[in-house]
Structure formats: C-alpha cells, structure tokens
Amino acid sequence: MKRRDFFKNISSVALLGAIPSISKSQKLKPEYNWKMVTTWPKNFPGLGTGAQYLADTIQKLSGGRIKVSVYGAGELVPAFEIFDAVSQGVAELGHGSAYYWKGKNDTFQFFSTVPFGMTANEMNSWLYKGGGLKLWEEAYDSFNLLPMAAGNTGIQMGGWFNKEINSLSDLKGLKMRIPGLGGEVLRRAGGTPVNLPGGELFTALKTGTIDATEWVSPYNDLAFGLHKAAKYYYYPGWHEPGTTLECFINKKVFSQLPSDLQHIVKGAAKIANIDMLCDFISKNNDALEILKNKHKVDIRPYPEEVLNELYEISKDVVKELSVKSNFAKEVYDSYSSFKDKTKNWNDISIKPYLNL
C-alpha cells in the first residue's frame, strides 16, 4: 500500500514543459472561456498557426479547464489594436510582437528585436535567465498586462524590392514596410518606413503603395505570395536577427486563476516559444528552394558596404533610445551586457563551427 501511494504521488508531478496525458474521464468542462486576439491572419503559417498552437496547448495542459478561442487580425479587433483590447479586458489574451506597441513606450522594442542584436537563442536566454523577462513584465505592468515569450522566427530575410540595392543611396526615398527600430534605421538612411499588418503587404507592394517590404523568411513569405509582387529578395535580415513573438494576458484575469492554472499558462507559452522556432527552422529551406527553383526569384546578399553603414546607423539609434528614460537605460544596459557576454562564447563556439 505504501509503495502504491508513493508511485501515485510521484506520477502526479509533471515536469515543466511536459504535456500530461489526460483521460476522457478526467477532462472537465471549461471553467474559463478566453478569447485570444492576434496581429496575424488566422492560421497563417508560422505566426497564425503558432498562436493557435499556444491556445491548443493551454487547453490540453489544463485538461479543458481553460478554453481559448483564437481570432485573427480584424476578426474581433484590428491587428494593431489588440494591445489595448487585452489591456481593457475586451479579450483575455493577445498574440503579437512588442515592437508594434512602440507608440506606448519606445523601450518595448528591446523585447521584440534589435537591429544587429541578439539571435533567437540569445534572446530566449536573456529573457529566461538574464533578467529580460522581469524587465518586460515591469514595462507592461502599468497597462494591466503580463507578457510572455510565445514564439521566435529566428533570423529573418532582408526584404523584397523592385530595384537593386547596390549602395546606401538606393534606399533614399524608398517606401518600405519595416517596423520597430529597423524602421528608424531606414528613415535615417533616407527611406520612409511604413507600418502595415501582414495581411495588407501583398496588395500594398503589388499596387505600389510601398516600394519594398520585409516580412519574415521564406516559409512565411512564400505563403503570402510576395514573390509575385517583387523581383529581388535580399538577405540577411539585419533588422530582425531573432524576433520574439509575445503572448500578453490581462493581469486581472490572470490573477484570478488558481496557482496550478497560472503555471500551466506560463508553461504553455514556453512550449509554444520553442515550437515556433523549430517550425521556422524546419520549413524555411523547403520554401527557399521553391522560391529559387520554381519561381526563379533573384535572391541576393546585401552589399557589405550597405550592411556596414546600416550597422553604424543602428548603433546610434539604439544608443539614443537608451537615454530616453531611466528605465530605457536599465533595459539597454541589461540587453547590451548580456549580448556582449554571449558574443564572447559564440566567438569560440558557434561561429568557428559554422565557418567549417
């Protein structure tokens, strides 16, 4: 009897990240019916499916106690209004990326991506083990939101253009969809950054409303058919080396959950975070081959001179952001010191290995 009780107790302890097997008899009726609003088209490959995966994982881990209904951009609220919608309780969850809300606070952009900044693995390490997530939570606290990393695209492509980019002067006067700090770098290089939700990119590029666009990487870009609207596809994505996707939750709603469900929601976000990165890594090359071989896309590297000049501009942009407030400096110092620390290790590990 004692041995049986011992194993019974052991089996009730679930490791973080493991999805428990729940029998039909154990499943419960939803105690919480949540709405998730997103900045992506519903079920759009990678991003939209990533939001749905998070919703499904929360529901499975909770044994059905939390049911999450996902709404794509514009279905319940417009893409760029989900931050306010969740903050005000119109929906319980949001799925997007922090640089979309820079109008609320410029510092938010550090929690999404920084031009020539950290990669996906470095971002995850900073958030989970380097104090980044605590700072992010502090940043969103006054908006009644609790943020969590819920995906990462990895390094992106540089963008789609209908003209060759041979020097920095080719960016002057260019209207390009590019959000966040990357957009500010483009502006200082002489271009005009435009912020558009993903669902509007193809039409805007095809009709000439914009001259160029970055989106994500081959997996997503092929799904949007951007190769039908632009001739040149440049790399690398200097502006987004490892973009964190977020889930943010209405804090009042989250605080009303019992402790076990709070842990389940946080665990589900971690699972979704790594799942999305794996999804992009596994599918980007297949999509790249289709773009290159089937659609004959002209895939080009940015000239080294252009990247060097953009890098110098980026340093100024990020440095100026860091002095806007004491909190901005705190985040900048944390981000920069962690990046420097990981660079020292990368220089004698990943970098030489890949160069082989």
Q: What is the pLDDT of residues 214-236, one digit of tens each?
A: 999 999 999 999 999 999 999 99
Residue 12's pLDDT band, with cuts at 50, 70 and 90, is very low
Task: Find out whether 113 and 180 touch, Cβ atoms under 8 Å.
Answer: yes
**Is this prediction's pTM over 0.85?**
yes
Closest CA to 181 of 69, 331, 53, 31: 331
- Calpha distance 329→200 (Å, rounded): 35
Task: Find out whether 245 and 149 touch, Cβ atoms under 8 Å.
Answer: yes
Beta-carbon contacts of 337 under 8 Å, excluding residues fewer than 6 positions away, are: none
- Calpha distance 6→3 (Å, rounded): 5
For every residue of 40-56, DSSP letters joined together read S-TT-TTTHHHHHHHHH
What pLDDT digit, counting tens, does each position of 194-210 carry? 999 999 999 999 999 99
Query: What letters, b where the CB count within 10 A reaches 16 and e where it falls short, cover 98-134?
Result: bbbbbebbbbbbbbbbbbbbbbbebbbbbbeebbbbe
Is residue 336 within a helix (H) or strand (E), and if so which, with residue range?
helix 326-346
What pLDDT digit, counting tens, does each position of 300-338 carry? 999 999 999 999 999 999 999 999 999 999 999 999 999
Task: Give the mean pLDDT of 94-107.
Answer: 97
Task: Find out whether 184 and 113 touch, Cβ atoms under 8 Å.
Answer: no
Residue 8 exposed, middle or buried by CB count within 10 Å (0-12, 13-18, 19+): exposed
Task: Find out whether 302 and 235 touch, Cβ atoms under 8 Å.
Answer: yes
- Calpha distance 52→332 (Å, rounded): 32
Q: Considering just the CA atoms, what is the radius of gyration of the chain in Å?
A: 21
Task: Find out whether 160 and 142 touch, Cβ atoms under 8 Å.
Answer: no
pLDDT over threshold 50, residue 14: no
Residue 29's pLDDT band, with cuts at 50, 70 and 90, is confident
Residue type, 55: A
pLDDT over threshold 60, residue 239: yes
Sign of CA dihedral 197, 199, 205, 209: negative
- Taking each helix axis from N to C end, the angle separating 304-322 and 180-188, rounded to the nearest 10 degrees, works out to 110
Task: Give the mean pLDDT of 7-21.
Answer: 42
pLDDT over threshold 90, residue 17: no
Residue 27's pLDDT band, with cuts at 50, 70 and 90, is low
With a pLDDT cut of 70, the percent of the chain lying above it is: 92
What pLDDT digit, counting tens, does each position of 31-56 carry? 999 999 999 999 999 999 999 999 99
pLDDT of residue 4: 47
Side-chain half-sphere CA neighbours of 103 within 13 A: 7
pLDDT over threshold 50, residue 253: yes
Q: Where does residue 190 fall: left (phi above 0), alpha (psi -120 to 50 degrees), or beta otherwise?
A: left
Task: Find out whether 95 and 43 touch, Cβ atoms under 8 Å.
Answer: no
Task: Give the mean pLDDT of 156-184.
Answer: 97
Structure tokens given for 81: 């209004």
- Mean pLDDT over the full length of the chain: 93
Task: Find out whether 229 and 296 touch, Cβ atoms under 8 Å.
Answer: no
Task: Give the mean pLDDT of 152-177.
Answer: 97
Task: Give the mean pLDDT of 280-293.
Answer: 97
Measure the N-to-C terminal CA separation of the chain; round to a whole number of Å.
Answer: 59
DSSP 169: G
Comparing 12-21, 97-106, 154-163, 303-312, the range with the smallest average pLDDT is 12-21
